[in-house]
Amino acid sequence: MSISSLYNDLGAPLRNIRWSWGAVNPHTHSIFLSVWEDERKKLNDQIDTVRVTAYAQLDPRTDLGFRERINQVDEIISGRRAFLIFCRARSIMDRRRSLAIINSTQLFPVISAFKIDHDVYLQYGTPTNISEFFFSSKNMTFDQ
């Protein structure tokens, strides 16, 4: 399954299939973000987090995807409901990563957001099977 197909299935089509890293479902207002597996970090040996900004590598003035990501992260920090889609890069050494594998079976709910060394990390919870997510959110609409 392609990443754009997954986002379409979630009701949150990507704004641009080349540079978007996330999208919003206009009916539930939930945010979905693609995140890299290798950016996971366990805090205090118990809190699962993932880095979602990379200010040292990217410039929001020139990188449209990063600018969009910052806006989405700001919405999450403001309390917007969000879910993570974990992805694996073909090469973690390549500055402009390309997707190798997408976890198209699980969504990880965002619990909280915080900064570590100038970047934003999101704490995430127990994953939900995407098929269960579709069933439970079928008639859900809210502005959270």
Question: Residue 27: is its pLDDT beyond 60?
Answer: yes
What average pLDDT does range 44-73 have in this prediction? 85
Distance CA 86, CA 78 (A): 22
Q: What is the pLDDT of residue 141?
A: 46
Distance CA 81, CA 88 (A): 24
Question: Residue 143: is its pLDDT beyond 60?
Answer: no
Distance CA 30, CA 7 (A): 12
Percent of the chain surpassing pLDDT 90: 63
Contact call for residues 118 and 56 (beta carbons, < 8 A): yes
Our CA dihedral for 19, 32, 98, 37, rounded to 10 degrees, sits at 150
What is the chain's Cα-based Rg?
14
pTM for the full model? 0.87
Q: Residue 60 is encoded by which pair of tokens?
A: 């929001």
